A and B are shown apart, each in its own frame.
Chain A
Amino acid sequence: MACTCNAHNQEKYQQLDAVIAEYIDQPGSLINVLHKAQGIFGYLPEEVQAYIAEKMDIPLSEIYGVVTFYALFTTEPKGKYNFNVCLGTACYVKGSGKILERVEKELGIKLNETSADGLFSIEACRCVGACGLAPVMTVNGEVYGRLTPDKVPAIIQKYKDLEANN
C-alpha cells in the first residue's frame, strides 16, 4: 500500500524530483522517468502522473497514454508480496495456467488485483528466463520452479507466517 505518512511521501517526491532533474533535458525520456517513478512509489497513481506532467510540461493525457500502453506500468498499488506467474510459452505448456488459477483461489483475488489488506497481489509475465524450471512463479523476485498447483498453498503460507512474525 502507498504510504500515507506525509514525511515519507515528501521523501518520495524528492527522489522523483531528482529523477526528473536527471532526464528533463533529454527528449523522449518520459518512459525512463515513469519507470523510475514506479520504482519509487511502487505504482503510478494519478497524483504522481500529474506531478510528472507539471514538472516535465508534458500533457497528462499523453503520460496516461504511455502508462496504459505498456503492461509494465501499473496505476494500482501492488501488494506487499507480489506473486508473478509466468505465462510464457514454456511455462504455459507445462501448466502455469493451473498455477495461476490456484494462486487466485488461495488468495481470493484475481489476476492484476491486490488483496484488501494490501498484503498480496497477482501479476502475470511473459518469461523470467528460467524456462528450465518451468512452470515458474516469482514472489517479490524470489523464484519458485517446477511448481504444481498443490505446492502453491505452502508458498503462500510462508509469506503469511513471515507477516505474522513481523
Chain B
Amino acid sequence: MEMVNVIIDGKAVEVEKGSTVLQAAQKAGVHIPTLCYLKDVNAIGACRVCLVEVKGAKALQPSCVYPVSEGLEVHTNTAKVREARKAVVELLLSNHPADCLTCVRSGNCELQSLARQLGIREIRFEGEKNTFPIDDRSLAIVRDPNKCILCRRCIATCQKVQGVSILGTINRGFNSTVGPAFMHPLDDINCALCGQCINACPVGALSEKDDTAKVWDALADENKHCVVQFSPAVRIAISEEFGIPMGAISTGKTVAALRRLGFDKVFDTNWSADLTIMEEGTELLHRIQNGGVLPQITSCSPGWIKYCEHHYPDQLDHLSSAKSPQQMFGAIVKTYYAQKAGVDPATIFSCSVMPCTAKKYECARPEMNSSGYRDVDCVITVREVARMIRQTGINLAELPEEECDSPLGVGTGAGTIFGATGGVMEAALRTVYEVVTGKTLEKVDFEEVRGMEGIKEATVDLDGTPVKVAVVHTLANAKKMMDKVRAGEADYAFIEIMACPGGCVGGGGTPIVNSLTRTILPTDYRAIRGLGLYEDDKNLPLRKSHENPFIKAVYAEFLGEPLSHKSHELLHTTYTPRIKYNLNWNK
C-alpha cells in the first residue's frame, strides 16, 4: 500500500494513499467534528461541519471527502474554521425545532452535542421553518421530517447497507426533505421496518414508535397478569444504556430491573429460541428426507420476512414455517403457561423486550393469534425499556443479578447466540447433528458461521452426509442470496438470513451508537456486542437446545413432539405475498 505524509495541526502522520483528511486526522489523534459523516456508510461532504483549512486551497474544505496528498498541510482548529463550523450549525438550528427538552434524542443527539461543543449560546438567524407532516402511522417507526437536518445518513443506510432504498431526498432548496417516494407513509410501502435508519439518524427525525405508555398502563392494572420476555440480544445491548461497557452481558441485572418495573413473571426468549430450534431443525430434516423445498430459510427476523414478502413473493415456500422465538413464546404463554400457572389467558398482558423495531409490526400481524388471543400484546425496544427503567430511578448497573422465573426462564447457549449473525445456524447445527447422527457433538463451536462477513458458507459433515449452509446478514446481502435462490443456483440445505447488520445485536431497536463512537471504536460495534453473546454461550451450563429440560418438559406435558398437530397450530405460521411498488400498469 502506497503511503503519503501529511501534517495535521503541525503533527506529521503517514497514511494510506486515498485516505481522507478526516481519516488522517483521526490517525493523528485529532478529532474533527462531523455531522453527515457515518463511518463506512456516508461520506458526502454535505453538512460542512468538518471544514478544515488546507494550505494552498482557496476555501475551507470538508475533511470527510478531501483526499490526502503528499506533503498536505491541514489546520483543523483555526479561528476561521471555528467560525465557519459555528455558522453552519447555527444555520441548521435556524430551521430546527428547539424542543430539545422533550425530544426523544435529548442527551444523545449529535446536533445538540455539536451546538454544545461549538459553544452556541444563541441562534442568530431567525427565518422560515419547514412544517412537514409527521408520519407516525406505522407500528414501528416514526418519521418527523421537521427535525431532519438532511445529512442523508438514513438514505445511505437504507440504500447501501440494506439495499431497500425506501428513503430519498425530495424537492430542492429550502423545501428539501427526506422521505419515501410520494411521501407515502412507511406503513403503505415496501419498507421492512428494520429501523436501521433510526440507528443512523443523528437527531430525532427518525425514532421508534414509543409503546412505553401501554406497558405502564398494563403494569398499573391490577387485573392484568403481566409477563415479559427479553430476547438474546437485549442482555448485551442494554448494558450500554447504563454505562456498562459495550459487549458486557447483563442478563441477571436485566431480570432484576424488569422485576422491579412490576412484571409478575420475567421470562427469557432464549427459552423459545431453543423451542424454535426444535421446530425449525425438525422441519429442515423433514424437508431433506421428504424432498421438500430447499434451501430452507430462517424466519426469525421480521424485517427480513417483510422484505421477502415484498421483494421475493414468489420464493415464500423457502421460508421455514416456524414462528420467530418472540411469537412462539407468545403462543405458549397464553396456552401452556396459563394452564400450568392457573391464570386466565384473557388477563395476561404479554410484553416483549426486543432489539428490533420490526417486532412491533410482527406481533400485530393478523395471523399471530393462535393462542386464541393476541399472542404478544406489546413490544418495546431496548431503548424504550431503558427509558422505563430510568423513569423509576433505578440504575440497572447497580442491581443484583437475579434469575428468570420458571418454567419459561431457562435457555441454553444455543438460544443466546440467536442474537448474533450465524447464531441460529450454529444452534440448529448443534441439535441437527445430534439428532441425525445419534452421536454427541464434541466440538459445539462452529467458527465458520460466526463473524461479520456479509455472506458466510460452511459445509457440515453429518456422519458422512455433507450439508451445505449459508449465513446472511443485512438486506442488501439477502438480495444477493435471494437472487441466487430464485435462479436455482443456491445449492444449500439451510440459510440463515437476518435483516440487520451483525444480526439482532445490530437491530433497529438497540442503543444508538453515535458517529464519533463508531469512528473511534477499534472494530464494528455489532461485532463487539456479538462477541459478548458468544462469551455468554461459552459460560452457560447447557449449550444445545434439545438438552434444555424445560423444552423437554413442554413437549412431554403439552406439545407432544416437534411438528406435532399442536406445534403446527401454535408454533408455525404462514406468509403473505406483498407488492413492491404500486404498479397499476401491472393489473
Interface residues of A (CB under 8 A from B): 9, 13, 46-47, 49-51, 53-54, 59-65, 68-69, 75
Contact = CB atoms under 8 A, between A and B. Distances in A.
A13 B585 contact: yes
A65 B581 contact: no
Contacts of B44: none
6 contacts: A47-B584, A51-B583, A53-B581, A61-B155, A61-B165, A68-B170
A65 B180 CA distance: 9
Interface in B350-388: none
Interface in B536-560: none
Given A9-B585, A51-B585, A53-B581, A60 B181 contact: yes
Contact of B168 (A13, A47, A50, A59): A59
B181 A47 contact: no
A46 B582 contact: yes
A123 B155 CA distance: 32
B419 to A, nearest CB: 30
Given A61-B181, A64-B181, A69 B585 contact: no
B584 A61 contact: no
Given A49-B181, A59-B159, A65 B168 contact: yes
B182 A64 contact: yes
Given A64-B181, A64-B182, A50 B583 contact: yes
A158 to B, nearest CB: 35
B361 to A, nearest CB: 20
Contacts of B168: 59, 61-62, 64-65
Q: For the complex, would chain B's binding face be called helix, strand, loop or mixed by DSSP majority?
A: mixed
A65 B583 contact: no
B581 A54 contact: yes
A46 B159 contact: no
B167 interface: yes
A46 B182 contact: yes
B170 A62 contact: no
Nearest to A63: B181
Contacts of A60: 165, 181, 581
Given A62-B165, A64-B181, 13 more contacts: A9-B585, A46-B181, A47-B582, A47-B583, A50-B583, A51-B583, A59-B159, A59-B165, A61-B167, A64-B168, A64-B170, A65-B169, A68-B170
B91 interface: no
A69 B172 contact: yes
Interface in B149-186: 155, 159, 165-172, 180-182
Interface of B: 155, 159, 165-172, 180-182, 580-585
Nearest to B181: A64
A68 B180 CA distance: 12
Nearest to B183: A64
Nearest to B159: A59
A13 B167 CA distance: 27
B587 to A, nearest CB: 10
B581 A50 contact: yes
Nearest to B179: A61
Contacts of A61: 155, 165-168, 180-181
Contacts of B172: 68-69
Given A61-B166, A63-B181, A68 B171 contact: yes
A105 B167 CA distance: 39
B115 to A, nearest CB: 29
A69 B173 CA distance: 9
A40 to B, nearest CB: 13
Nearest to B175: A68
Contacts of A13: 585
A59 B155 CA distance: 11
Contacts of B180: 61
**8 shortest A-B CB distances, which residue pairs?**
A61-B168, A59-B165, A64-B181, A50-B581, A47-B584, A65-B168, A60-B181, A61-B181
Contacts of B182: 46, 64, 75
Contacts of B580: 54
Most buried by B among A50, A51, A54: A50
B171 to A, nearest CB: 5
Nearest to A70: B172
A65 B175 CA distance: 12
A67 to B, nearest CB: 9
A92 B582 CA distance: 42
Contacts of B170: 64-65, 68
Nearest to A62: B168
A108 to B, nearest CB: 26
Nearest to B177: A68
A46 B581 CA distance: 9
A64 B172 CA distance: 12
Contacts of B585: 9, 13, 47, 51
Nearest to A46: B182
A18 to B, nearest CB: 15
Nearest to B168: A61
A64 B181 CA distance: 5
A46 B582 CA distance: 8
Contacts of A54: 580-581, 583
B154 to A, nearest CB: 11
A60 to B, nearest CB: 4
Contacts of B581: 50, 53-54, 60
Nearest to A12: B585
Nearest to A65: B168
Contacts of A53: 581
Nearest to B165: A59
A54 B582 CA distance: 11
A54 B169 CA distance: 19
A118 to B, nearest CB: 19
A13 B586 CA distance: 11
B536 to A, nearest CB: 39
B566 to A, nearest CB: 43
B190 to A, nearest CB: 9
A2 to B, nearest CB: 11
Contacts of A62: 165, 168
Nearest to A58: B165
A17 to B, nearest CB: 11
Nearest to B166: A61
Contacts of A68: 170-172
B65 to A, nearest CB: 20
Contacts of A47: 582-585
Most buried by B among A60, A63, A69: A60
